[in-house]
Amino acid sequence: MELLKQKILSEGEIYEGNILKVDYFLNHRIDVPFLSEIGKEFHRLFKDSEVNKILTIEASGIAIGTMVAQEFGCPLVFAKKNKTKNIAGDVYVTPVESFTHGTTYSVMVSKRFLGAGDRVLIVDDFLAIGNAMNGLIKLVEDSGAKLAGCGAVIEKSFQHGGDRLREKGIRVESLAMIESMNHETGEIVFRS
């Protein structure tokens, strides 16, 4: 998605340790008119996959998931991190290691909101090593729902999480794939 690449180049910030921050349009300040285009693009890619539910993970995935769900006219379910008073009853739960924060947390979805009969499109902001995406896929599998595919706004393809999923036969679509980036020069190379 050319417009996304341009935004990453003009508004993204690279930090040591292969960290790309897109706080200006995706992770803190959200450029909602732009996000609407992201929603349309995922719909274009998956419109023939009979998707009836979008699944994402709090917090940064929620805005993206909302726009994608709007295009599909279907509900969004967001997986929660840690157990809070606000989730009651039976949940599907799996541990996820956070590359960004260096911790492990639990990801969970209420059994009421995911199950056989659902055809699920998972969306998230980033796909790097793939830990969060793998956790969400595990929740879909545990629930008996069908996985239609995975969509990431930005894939750090040099961390190979996306390719490992593709090797398993899972359809993964990323709107921008970063092959390399350099925090000293600011250079970003996209996979074409």
Q: Where are the alpha helices (DSSP H) in 47-96?
A: 60-72
Of residues 10, 16, 48, 73, which one binds a copy of itself by CB under 8 A?
73
Residue 62 near a copy of itself by CB under 8 A: yes
Q: Which is nearer to a copy of itself, 72 or 165 (CB)?
A: 72
Report, in Å, the least distance between residue 137 CB and a copy of itself: 19
Residue matched to tokens 């009969």: 117
Q: Which helix (H) or strand (E) holds 13?
A: strand 13-15
Q: Which helix (H) or strand (E) holds 9?
A: helix 2-11
Residue 175 near a copy of itself by CB under 8 A: no
| Residue from 163, 166, 168, 171 nearest 128 by CA | 163
| Residue from 158, 148, 160, 156 nearest 174 by CA | 156
Q: How far apart are CA 191 and CA 177, in angstroms?
A: 5
Q: Which listed range, 56-64, 158-166, 172-180, 183-191, lies at the site for a copy of itself (CB under 8 A)?
A: 56-64
Residue 47 near a copy of itself by CB under 8 A: no
Report, in Å, the least distance between residue 30 CB and a copy of itself: 4
Residue matched to tokens 């699920």: 120
Give me 97's structure tokens: 């290691």
Please, which of residues 78-117 interact with a copy of itself by CB under 8 A? Answer: 78, 80, 84-88, 100-101, 109-110, 112-113
Give me the residues that bind a copy of itself (CB under 8 A), please.
15, 19, 21, 23-24, 27-33, 35-36, 58-59, 62-63, 65-67, 69-70, 73-78, 80, 84-88, 100-101, 109-110, 112-113
